[in-house]
Amino acid sequence: MKRKILAMMMILFVAVGMLAGCSQGAMEAGEPVETPEPAAAEPEVQQEPEEQPETAKKAILVVSFGTSYADTRKASIEACENEIAKAYPEYEVRRAFTSQIIINKLAKRDNIEIDNPTQALDRLTEEGFSEVVVQPLHIIAGEEYNEMVEVVAEYNDGRFDSLVMGRPILTGIEDYEIAVEALNEQLPEIGEGQAVVLMGHGTHHPANASYACLQSVLEKEGVENVYVGTVEGYPTLDNVMESLQEDGIEEVTLMPFMVVAGDHASNDMAGDEEDSWKTIMKKEGYSVEIYLHGLGENPAFQGIYKQHVQDAMDGNGQEIPEPSNPVIADASKWVEGKKTIMVVSFGTSYADTRKKSIEATENAIAEAYPDYEVVRAFTSQIIIDKLVKHDNIVIPNPEDAFEQMMADGVEELVIQPLHIMAGEEYNELMEVAKHYEAGFKTVTFSKPLLNGIEDYETAAVALQSQLPEIGEGEAVVLMGHGTHHPANATYACFQSVLNEEGMDNVYVGTVEGYPAYEDVLAKLKADGVSKVTLMPFMVVAGDHANNDMAGDEEDSWKTMLKQEGFTVNIYLHGIGENPEFQQIYVNHVAAAMSVE
């Protein structure tokens, strides 16, 4: 049995060897060889490809007034755009101009097509962009900038996942300080009897106060012999030349305080015409040099715009209003001849000062316009609620007042705010008023106390009527409220006008803005003042006047000045108690009614 098994194994080994040899020979000879079919593999499962998330399309829309000067456009506007593009490579940078005249000129003359802001935002919508940053290259938050905010607000309806907007160069006091630092990088060396005169554009918008505020901050930061003027606002060239003469200046370098050294810089500032600043100053005997470069050419100012883009992305940019559904007109409710003047103020819970200031101003308006019913509204809901709870006095907020007047069938409405300036509270009131505008046949919007430069001059005259006699070493310190809104520049502008009117011993400060208490204190010490009268520059002598100004707490202005060694008197009356200020508001109603 064993022999049989061994024999069979030997035969098997020989057969396998022969088969292997035949197979190898056949392969070498190129003959086909039958090979067993491989075992069937398991069918491969087809994986569905993972959906890749679409990359969000992002854009930064850089908006400027524009210029038709090709070289300066490249050196300023394009340079700012390029700096922003380098900082944010994941964003596509687009351009828009607000001046349709320049847009049309470039299209016709140079075959260059540039969108206006509406066209640019429409294009971004159509192309499916989801994240958009709008960065204006404006200097101040003036009319052009505010119109931009209104345009952008129309697109704040969810069509973009994210829509934010950057600030102009000058907004809060920190912006002014940063701008002064940037400006220092392009100023020439200024010797004895020499000066730099900055030409800004200027405007009739309240934001024109920014230029006087910039002058104030330049002086605060120790930048001497740099003077700010404007083509179309305040300070004027005449104001600047008065300062140059007082300071003994003989040589001047003219420099544009504009993003682009365009038409105003080339002609109004540096032109050879009789009315150019260069020609006028030469006729006055000044030696004049020209620096023809816009701020947009300065890398430091380019960096400011870049930072403002980042601020907007971080949620610290311009607040963009959401679209509202305005009231629909219903003429059937109007009562023919029913006319109302709505007088709106922040309000106060101090009964005596409310009667002497707010009510007194309302009475002056009512006396001037006996055909109109005068109604009151407060913007502070806290004060409204406090008066209801403690005094059972019901005063409407603006929304409730509008609703009631519509229900009463008011046909003609005039809105007169008792605000000092066109700040956040005033602008919010205007937004509410626009929402209800169609509810009346006519709505007339009046101005706050300080709007154009003429208002500042009139207010300075009115203030003189309540100032005490100011002797040697004495001063009056006005306490304003202050705000983080760009309109805070109003206070520095008012200080400038007071100085021009010869009221050098009257100092303006604010509780929550610029100039701050520390700024006023530094000036008082520098001018050798030893005796101070504190006076509120507010319509109502309310909480701020009674506590922050005249209180006995450690942080009141009265206490702090006394600790610094000053003799301090208190004048606790709001400017609303002054008949001359009341008349200013009456005149503003008249001016508003006279506008067709």
Under a CB-based contact definition with an 8 Å cutoff, are residues 524 and 518 in contact? no
CB 585 within 8 A of CB 449: yes
Name the pairing type of β-strands 58-64 and 92-97: parallel
Beta strands 226-230 and 531-536 are unpaired
CB 16, CB 23: distance < 8 Å: no
Which is the catalytic residue, given 201, 264, 485, 544?
201
CB-based contact 456:514 (threshold 8 Å): no
Specify the DSSP element, H or E, that contains 309: helix 299-313
Looking only at the bridges linking them, the beta strands covering 373-378 and 442-445 are: unpaired
- CA separation, residue 261 to residues 130, 200, 324, 354, 462 (Å): 34, 11, 39, 51, 40
Half-sphere exposure of 510 (CA within 13 A, CB side): 18
Neighbour order of strands in the sheet with 92-97: 92-97, 58-64, 131-136, 162-165
The Cβ-side half-sphere exposure at 14, using a 13 Å CA radius, reads: 6
Six-digit token string for 236: 């004027």
CA angle 418, 476, 479 (to 5 degrees): 40
Q: What stretch of H or E contains 1?
A: none
> Which helix (H) or strand (E) element contains residue 266?
none
The dihedrals phi and psi of 164, each to the nearest 5 degrees, come to: -130, 165
The distance between the two most distant Cα atoms of the chain, rounded to a whole number of Å, is: 145
SS (H, E, C) 422-457: CCHHHHHHHHHHHHHHHHCCEEEECCCCCCCHHHHH
Cis peptide before 117 (omega within 30 of 0): no
Closest C-alpha among 562, 561, 499, 537 to residue 219: 499
Look-up of token digits 């309240």: 206
- Only one residue has tokens 């900038």, namely 145
Question: Do 335 and 439 form a contact (C-beta atoms < 8 A)?
Answer: no
Give dist(CA 233, CA 212) in Å, integer: 10
Which parts of 266-396 are beta strand (E)?
287-290, 339-345, 373-378
| Residue type present at position 48 | E
Buried b (16+ CB within 10 A) or exposed e, 38-69: eeeeeeeeeeeeeeeeeeeebbbbbbbbbbbb
Residue 469 and residue 357: Cα distance in Å, rounded? Answer: 23
Which value, in Å, is the radius of gyration of the alpha carbons in the chain?
A: 36
Taking the alpha carbons of 297, 301, 306, 308 in that order, is the dihedral positive or negative? negative
Known catalytic residue: 481? no
Q: Is 159 helix (H, G, I), strand (E, B) or coil?
A: coil
Residues 6+ positions from 437 with CB-CB distance below 8 Å: 326, 327, 443
Would you name the residues annotated as active-site residues? 201
